[in-house]
Amino acid sequence: MAVASTPTVCVVGSGGREHALAVALSRGAEVVVCPGNPGMQALGVTCVEGPAEALDVDLFVIGPEVPLVEGLADRLRARGRTVFGPGADGARLEGSKAWMKQVLADAGVPTAAYEVFDSPGPAVEFLRSLPGPWVVKTDGLAAGKGVLVTGDLNQAEADVLAKLAGASFGDAGRRVVIEEALIGPELSVMAVCDGRTAVALAPARDHKRAFDGDLGPNTGGMGAFSPVPDADGELVDEVMRTAVEPTLEALSSRGIDYRGVLYAGLILTSDGPKVLEFNVRFGDPETQAVLARLQGDLAGLLAAAAAGRLGDAEAPLFGPDVSVCVVMAAPGYPDAPRVGGVISGLGSNLPGGAEVFCAGIASTPQRHGGGHHDSDPAGSGTLITAGGRVLSVAGTGPSLSEARAVAYQGVRSIRWPGAWWRNDIGLSATQAVGLAGAGGVK
Ligand code: AMP
Ligand code: GLY
């Protein structure tokens, strides 16, 4: 009788999302991350140098949007590899907001009214015709930072001019999308797609603004939690029916065989959920929060989707525990992160139920001889900050307030000069359902 061997998986990327994917996938597979980072390596994840094309594994899972938009999935498939992640044709959904809006309009997906502009005169004229608040987006990729939402028309006009001139976001901003502001809480729904069908993962809520109380500039995401008290199964079904499935069908009707995550960023308006954007990959930090609750075989699920046969996999099941993920950032993030700070406390003193996911981390050259430094759990060199979002800490517990307490206890056990984080991840939801207060978390 043949014995099935453990599948091998390569996760492409180097952030907290990829670290979380590696941890979850390793429950059913042998996993490497390419290239990963020295932080995750120190915490036991096998990291390998690229290029990913040179690796021979059963399944590739591509984390970030940039390699997807640049066609990495196509190049791997051309070599006969099995890949979870769309080709460049499908990834355009995230690579061009103007194209995404067109696909949504064709598919009849509820979204904000919008116009696309290449030149300043008509763009400013359109802005002035809107009641505000004003929303200005770069057409192209900007690491989650190309969106301005403001109640100040002058600021919106200045932003349009800077984007179109290429001054603020280079070529990504030379075309802008100006759209109606939607009001309501946000929700992230990530769906695993096999080209024709899709299955939803548990919903999460991100915190996009830099500072407590949703103040400050937009970031890639400062923290997330799952489940979301005001987003039950029925609401997720509605998102699948009105947003994800029609979009997958619209892609398919354009000849696009979309195998990967369709991540709907939504606002829950009084008129129902409306799509702000589709991302073509797992969210960061939503993935860290959502996968902490996943029970069952993620590798099997993604392999089935990559093979175009989602029906062969068991539907994803999520445990009842709540997960809260808090991002720790370098000083100066998101505008101009200052890196190179020595990280201490990683991998030690974590409370039960907490897990660290490493992102913007590098190491100094390996030292010879001597004992291990506190920040050097694997003896591979001192770990230092190397990016804006340095790491995230996910805490799980039976309630939102307990999960928050675990996550923040984990956060406080890790240090580097100028480390900062939001203190209110998940807080509004604990207040909304009357659960706040436990654990004295600030
Ligand atoms: P996006 O990259 O399009 O998801 O936008 C980043 C963030 O900007 C979103 O998560 C929202 O917080 C905010 N945002 C984007 N578009 C709108 C809109 N039309 N109305 C209100 N807020 C928006
Ligand atoms: N957390 C937002 C994103 O992944 O785009």
Q: Is the pLDDT of residue 437 over 90?
A: no
Relative to the CA of 279, which ligand 2 atom is closest? 5
**H-type alpha helices, 96-226:** 97-107, 120-129, 153-164
The answer to whether residue 207 scores a pLDDT higher than 80 is yes
Ligand 1 contact via 378 beta carbon (within 6 Å): no
In this predicted model, what pLDDT tens digit does every residue of 245-290 receive, in sequence order?
999 999 999 999 999 999 999 999 999 999 999 999 999 999 999 9
Question: Per-residue pLDDT for 441 more than 70?
Answer: no
Average pLDDT of the segment spanning 1-29: 91
As a dihedral over the C-alpha atoms of residue 330, residue 24, residue 263, residue 314, rounded to 10 degrees, the angle is -170
Q: Is 288 in the pocket of ligand 2 (CB under 6 A)?
A: no
**Angle at the Cα of 340 from the Cα atoms of 345 and 166, rounded to 5 degrees:** 130
Confidence of residue 375 (pLDDT cuts 50, 70, 90): very low
Whose C-alpha lies nearest to ligand 1, atom 19?
A: 181
Q: Which residue owns the Cα nearest ligand 2 atom 4? A: 283
Check whether 366 has a pLDDT greater than 70: no
Q: What's the pLDDT at 348?
A: 81
* pLDDT at site 2: 53
Is the pLDDT reported for residue 167 higher than 90? no
What does the block give as tokens for 143?
């690491």
User: Options 3.90.600.10, 2.60.40.1220, 3.90.25.10, 3.40.50.720; which CATH number does 322-429 get?
Assistant: 3.90.600.10
Is 11 in contact with 63 (CB distance < 8 Å)? yes
CATH, domain 8-87, list 3.40.50.20, 3.30.70.20, 3.40.640.10, 3.90.870.40 = 3.40.50.20
**Angle at alpha carbon of residue 22, lines to 386 and 239, rounded to 5°:** 100
Query: Could you tell me if 188 and 205 are in contact, meaning their C-beta atoms sit under 8 angstroms apart?
Result: yes
Which superfamily, per CATH, for 184-318? ATP-grasp fold, B domain (3.30.470.20)
pLDDT band (50, 70, 90) for residue 367: low
Query: Do residues 226 and 404 make contact, with C-beta atoms less than 8 angstroms apart?
Result: no
For residue 50, the SS3 value is coil
User: Is it the case that residue 165 has pLDDT exceeding 90?
Assistant: no
* Residue 236, pLDDT above cutoff 70: yes
Task: Identify the band that residue 368 occupies on the pLDDT scale cut at 50, 70 and 90.
Answer: low
Of ligand 2's listed atoms, the one at least distance from the Cα of 286 is: 1
Taking the centre of ligand 2 as the mean of its atom positions, its distance from the CA of residue 102, in whole angstroms, is 21
Contact (Cβ atoms closer than 8 angstroms) between residue 414 and residue 393: yes
**Ranges of each domain in the chain:** 8-87, 113-180, 184-318, 322-429
Class of domain 113-180: alpha beta
CA distances from 240 to 111, 185, 393 (A): 14, 18, 29
Q: Could you tell me if the CB of 186 is within 6 A of ligand 1?
A: yes
Give the pLDDT score at 218: 87
Choose the residue to mutate in 147, 163, 182, 183 for probing ligand 1, maximizing ligand atoms within 8 Å of C-beta. Answer: 147
> What is the CA(70)–ligand 2 centre distance, in A?
19
Neighbours of 327 (CB within 10 A): 30
Q: Is residue 143 scored above 90 in pLDDT?
A: no
- Decide: 58 in ligand 1 pocket, CB within 6 A: no
User: Using one digit for the tens of pLDDT, what is the confidence trace for 296-351?
Assistant: 899 999 999 999 999 999 999 999 999 999 999 999 999 999 999 999 999 788 99
Measured distance CA(49)–CA(39) in Å, rounded: 15
